[in-house]
Amino acid sequence: MDTLQQNDPRDVIEADRAHVWHHLIQHKPFETIDPRIIVEGKGMRLWDITGKEHLDAVSGAVWTVNVGYGRTRIANAVRDQLEKMCFFAGAAGTIPGARFAERLIEKMPGLSRVYYANSGSEANEKAFKMVRQIAHKHYGGKKNKILYRDRDYHGSTITTISAGGQDERGMQYGPFTPGFVRVPHCLEYRAQDGLAGPTYGEKAAEEIEKVILAEGPDTVGALCLEPITAGGGIIVPPKGYWEKVQEICRKYDVLLHIDEVVCGLGRTGKWFGYQQFGVEPDIVTMAKGVASGYAAISCCVTTERVFDMFKDDTDRLGYFRDISTFGGCTAGPTAALENMAIIEEEELLANSAAMGEHFHDRLNELMEKHEIIGDVRGMGLFQGAELVTDRATKEPADEKQVMAVVADCMQQGVIIGACNRSMPGYNNTLLFAPSLIATKDDIDRITTAVDSALGRVFA
């Protein structure tokens, strides 16, 4: 705990209280309670400034630290690279940028080009701009609409919120960017017509086709979906869904854009979530686990067909006229190369799949014990438990009680997540995404903490 010895805890807390504007939280309580300060991490353990140890079941609270904390080899590689060449604008190349793109494309058959940026929101903005420019260059400006799905999330900028299916995240931030159209969710537990399995999967996909037909196929340029809905409740699409979605996109010449910001780099047990379903996307965006939080990086990856649509030296403005300043920082691809090597060398894809099965089994055991759990779902080390007050009616549990479970686990030294302030009336799912290094003991400790919390909150 050397960091604690170098900084007086009260000085740090007061500096934070006086000057830091934190993400996603109300600051009024900080007038009477101390902000939480995280000072050190090792593996899946974190220590706060009071010295308390926590087991992190959400990989940095936003599903990012896929290979765990304290990876000296990543830190050293980044330091060495920054000393040699830290940055140059993306109009030129760098050695780590070229090498990571090469390694990444090896994992993504059918795709061939990597555009670097620095956040998931920005990567999705790049994809949206590509679709819009393609519409102007090749479809007379008409094929510019982008479809997105209810309960999916694609970022925090005004335009990515415009493509967001979590209404509470957008409240008070309008007006929004036009040209984004919502399609229905595919949560089998809350199927719109009471269907199940492949029947519901195909039906949910056909609802997308209905939207395309209603808008006019000649106006729809792309469909943007998460492979597994993340913050919207860990929604694994039912069987038959992705096959039908792919068929529909090809039928109407709609680019399929898959947002892998959360699922990418091993979260589901494969390199990318879409690879669980045999999908062949046109555009894939990613961030978070690409470098496990050791450096900022995101990627917008495309097919050669999409890339070729911008090759036109007869049009002065015909190339992709975009820039991401910190897409030119070499720290990101350097960290990403080491991150990928660790995943391979330690066989973390296989561990994610195996530990995910164990996690799923343990959550199902909790469902047998606690009536408040209505559904357990997920894939790999990406699991969710939806809380309901009545299993027959599926009435969602109150958000305050759901967050009380999270708070109780925190008191026990286990950090878990939950849907909150995202979807009116449906912020009732506990979320789990531990690092890919998780062991059975880690998972057992997490589920034991949840067991105890549910028993207290819903006594």
Per-residue pLDDT tens over the stretch 414-432: 999 999 999 999 999 999 9
pLDDT category of residue 149 using cuts at 50, 70 and 90: very high
Beta-carbon contacts of residue 170 (< 8 Å; ≥ 6 apart): 161, 162, 164, 176
pLDDT greater than 80 at residue 5: no
User: Partners of 146 in the beta sheet?
Assistant: 180, 222
Instruction: Work out the average pLDDT over 50-67.
Output: 97
Provide the pLDDT for residue 271: 98
Whether residue 234 sits in one domain with residue 143? yes
Q: Is 394 contained in some domain?
A: yes
Whether residue 410 sits in one domain with residue 322? no
Instruction: Give the pTM.
Output: 0.97
pLDDT category of residue 6 using cuts at 50, 70 and 90: low
| In the block, residue with structure tokens 């974190």 | 46
DSSP symbols for 333-352: HHHHHHHHHHHHHTTHHHHH
Are the C-beta atoms of 185 and 229 separated by less than 8 Å? yes
Q: Tell me: the pLDDT tens digits for 166-204?
A: 999 999 999 999 999 999 999 999 998 888 888 999 999
Nearest to 302 by CA among 127, 138, 119: 127
Q: Is 19 contained in some domain?
A: no
Nearest to 436 by CA among 254, 313, 264: 264
Question: How many domains does the structure of the chain reveal?
Answer: 2
Instruction: Identify the domain boundary among 345, 371, 392.
Output: 345
Q: What is the CATH number of the domain that holds 129?
A: 3.40.640.10
Euclidean distance between CA atoms 53 and 41, whole angstroms: 9
Whether residue 120 sits in one domain with residue 264? yes
Provide the residue range defining the domain that includes 351: 36-65+347-457
pLDDT category of residue 7 using cuts at 50, 70 and 90: confident
Whether residue 323 sits in one domain with residue 441? no
Provide the pLDDT for residue 1: 46
Q: What's the chain's Rg over C-alpha atoms?
A: 22
